[in-house]
Structure 1
């Protein structure tokens, strides 16, 4: 149950001493100059990517069509993109408190969302049935797809809004009626709607999962899977299409950690490492990551690196909330906060993942 007594106690995301980490500094030699230069070069590429994403705010722009030459399509759409970017920047600058919730439904969602970073929601059973029917083809596609560990795209099918406009129109109306759109707009201080819908199927692995640090005989962290997303200025929502308990992959959120994820440069560094692949726990990536200066040794996908006796591990364990079907069949959350999603230990979980963004005007 969502609890007002839980709140992440730090004002920043977890910081890890990689020199003392049993899978990094304790088993790796001091990086040489060449290794350090290579690491900084790779990080620089990731930093350029995340800077461009932040400046353009790509999450809020229409996605280029998948057919034809995407570069040419993007160039043709450039005037539209520039217009949208300018309108969005002006709208945010002048918004202030104009989008604060004004209805009881919106306030009921907004209050826990602002306080904890997430809010459990109960959608009507008829809405769940309708979602299943409209996404039947997408779930059939997932039935024949082989899931790749660590690759969420292999378990999801994104629905193109140009191919399914009726679904997006219907879902946006459902979100508006439930107060979700109002709460999301109040939280993000701008007008938003559902701009991305994805069908998702997560299954429990066959057999026990091995530690990502098995090559150096280090046990898996109790926080493995916890992360912050590399998206900006969005909210996400998971809608469970079946009974979802503690064992089959509910969203788990660390209450209050949304406030800790708002540091600008910290977020840039973490996302840069994720975008260029340095957050991986594979041995080669670990060596390159460890060659970075200590101030750049931060990840958005950090859960696997937290050791069991860390203060941050304790804080996550004590303040995490698993949102199961007993609390609601959907949960809206700020992905900039610490969370873990879709990691079943038993059975499977069928869900719909939606993203609240600014819609084209």
Structure 2
């Protein structure tokens, strides 16, 4: 399945001119020295976190178990971490084409993944039914969580339930088997040039989202690009499997075709991640003031869609090249989260899905 000739032509992710933005430079006063220093402290914290996560390649290391105290768990796992960091990096240096897909299914997924950044595929109805039955207890738990605290943001913690690999070993095993049978693991391994598996499973339920514009306080309407973002994670792939019928109105994965090629700048990625980790990407008034106090070259976000003003060239480049992977195209998709995307933004009905993080597992 091709994406109808769509292709993001910009060679970099949007760099928004916040001096001219109607919710930033046009309404906010020039930052004083104290605000500038405070903003740099926040940014420095975020940059330290983003840099250290990249240096140790944290996405490919085993995470502490559910209920573990992080400090003691990390101390216990430190020898394993050091061994994995060395072995994983050495294996990547000599990988070459050794992870080329060996089946037609893997090749059929790899080709659109490399070209477009996203590869839809289809899972049989009986497999989807089996998966729903397997996840029935978790679905019930998440529904109770949502009824207690409905979430307006599709990426709020209340919409997701991350499954612990130890207590949900049967689910991880089933999804690794399904990903292998579908060619997902072959395609992902070839794309990343390393052996990968399902490293994290999250159940997600999204209901209709509504509410005022994030910039209603200054009379600015919501952007048509709201919720478009790039992930702060790196060197991984993600997959989404719809457990319910998903149309254009109930939250399909929507991907800006080819935008994964625009997200290769290491420094740009670190700056965007730093602002997200430090909270400077938030849109409430005090956060906007602090973000605007940063030097112009550091005003970049991973969650930038909300700031793309309508009818600008940058917004049009996103809107015109977006591709919604609905159930008639495929009930699952493998994608590179370094590209511009949004998921679970529901205007009508409900969507239930399971998301997979594909990482290099401990060996």
* Alignment counterpart, residue 194 of structure 2, candidates 190, 193, 203: 190
Which residue matches 1:88?
A: 88
Which residue matches 2:312?
A: 310
1:240 aligns with 2:245: no
Which residue matches 1:283?
A: 285
RMSD: 1.1
Which residue matches 1:66?
A: 66
Which residue matches 1:114?
A: 114
Aligned partner of residue 6 in structure 2, secondary structure: coil
CA–CA distance in structure 2, aligned partners of residues 20 and 138 of structure 1: 46
CA–CA distance in structure 1, aligned partners of residues 85 and 64 of structure 2: 15
* Alignment counterpart, residue 164 of structure 1, candidates 164, 168, 180: 168
TM-score, scaled relative to structure 2: 0.97
Question: In 1, are the aligned partners of 2:152 and 2:211 still within 8 Å (CA)?
Answer: no
**How many angstroms does 1:68 deviate by?**
4.5
CA–CA distance in structure 1, aligned partners of residues 270 and 49 of structure 2: 10
CA–CA distance in structure 2, aligned partners of residues 290 and 198 of structure 1: 34
Give the gaps of 5 or more residues in structure 1.
none
CA–CA distance in structure 2, aligned partners of residues 256 and 320 of structure 1: 10
Which residue matches 1:149?
A: 152
**How many angstroms does 1:70 deviate by?**
2.4
TM-score, scaled relative to structure 1: 0.97
**How many angstroms does 1:168 deviate by?**
1.4
Question: In 1, are the aligned partners of 2:256 and 2:318 still within 8 Å (CA)?
Answer: yes
Question: In 2, are the aligned partners of 1:227 and 1:339 still within 8 Å (CA)?
Answer: yes
After superposition, what is the alpha-carbon deviation per residue over 1:244-263, rounded to whole angstroms, capped at 9, x for unaligned? 00000000000000010111
Aligned partner of residue 262 in structure 1, secondary structure: coil
After superposition, what is the alpha-carbon deviation per residue over 1:231-289, rounded to whole angstroms, capped at 9, x for unaligned? 11111111001110000000000000001011111000000000000110110000000
Which residue matches 1:133?
A: 133
Q: 1:104 to 1:76 in 2, by over 3 A?
A: same
Aligned residues: 359
* Alignment counterpart, residue 337 of structure 1, candidates 334, 339, 347: 339
**How many angstroms does 1:6 deviate by?**
0.8
**How many angstroms does 1:4 deviate by?**
4.9
